[in-house]
Amino acid sequence: MVKTEIRCIHCGSKEIVKYGKQANGTPRCKCKTCGKTFQAEYISNGALPETKKMIIKMSLNGSGVRDISRVLEVDKNTVVDVLKKQKASYNSKSNL
């Protein structure tokens, strides 16, 4: 049996505890250091944090929604959702 070391995707800490399961059965984890939760494994490409960063980068470089969707192999609705959340995050920070 091989054990894999899970690190927090947000802060990189090794202090992780089990935190239940998703509806599809994949386990969730919680970081003791930063308190954020995340999935231990991702099934779809659209849920990966790296994919979300790439969506934002490609958008800033002038790529359209359909182009991003095609290149990253995610649904166009995923691209739109990520961009909307980024815009909401940006707007809330600029109002401070």
Tens digits of residue pLDDT in 63-76:
999 999 999 999 99
Q: CA torsion sign, 47 to 53 to 54 to 60?
A: positive
Tens digits of residue pLDDT in 15-44:
999 999 888 888 899 999 999 998 877 777
- The CA radius of gyration of the chain, in Å to the nearest whole number, is 16
CA 25 to CA 30: how far, in whole Å? 16
CA 23 to CA 21: how far, in whole Å? 7
- Residue 72 is encoded by which pair of tokens? 């990253």
Q: What is the mean pLDDT of the chain?
A: 85
CA 96 to CA 73: how far, in whole Å? 36
